[in-house]
Amino acid sequence: MTDPFLVPEDHTAIDAIAAIGDELDVFDDWMDRYQHIIELGRKLPPFPKDWANDAHRVPGCQSQVWMEATLRDGRMFFAGASDAAIVSGLVALLLRVYSGRPPAEIIATDPVFLKDLGLLEALSTNRGNGIAAMARKVREAAASVR
């Protein structure tokens, strides 16, 4: 089985946020940015089908979203998936920032970057609430292992 947990390409959460901002700045309009975000979702590691259940479901999301966390060598790694293409991309953005980081770094990285990048304004209210719920779940998982 392929490892479902995302291994970060960026050195820190702050580096990941900066890289995402740079990538989104390349596009002139939100339709192109959405397409880029959807592509990020398609590149997520495969999420085990038997994890797509209520135990892994993120409450507060309009779409079906599932996440799992594990602690390895003092770092939290996250896996995630959604039944909606744009939401899978949002999962990928969050995991890029938070997966593979020490719990203290995850807790210290406020999800305000979603607003700073213009994502919350560009999304529907329900999608914005959903990504906030995903970020909360990630940070709660990190807080639970400290």
What residue segments make up the domains of the chain, in order of their start? 13-144
Active site residue 94: no
Q: Does domain 13-144 have CATH number 3.90.1010.10?
A: yes
Average pLDDT, the chain: 93
**Can you give the pLDDT at residue 125?**
82
Inter-residue contact 63 to 81 (CB < 8 Å): no
**Can you give the pLDDT at residue 101?**
97
pLDDT tens digits, residue range 119-143? 888 888 888 888 989 999 999 999 9
**Can you give the pLDDT at residue 1?**
63
DSSP output for 37-57:
HHHHHHTSPPPPGGG-SGGGB
d(CA 117, CA 82): 22
Tokens read off for 63: 């779409």
Full-model pTM: 0.93
Instruction: Please pick, among 17, 37, 40, 61, the residue that the annotation labels catalytic.
Output: 61
**Can you give the pLDDT at residue 60?**
84
CA dist 74 → 60, 91, 105, 140 (Å): 29, 22, 11, 16
Tokens read off for 11: 């050195």
pLDDT tens digits, residue range 36-69? 999 999 999 999 999 999 999 998 878 899 999 9
**Amino acid, res. 64:** Q
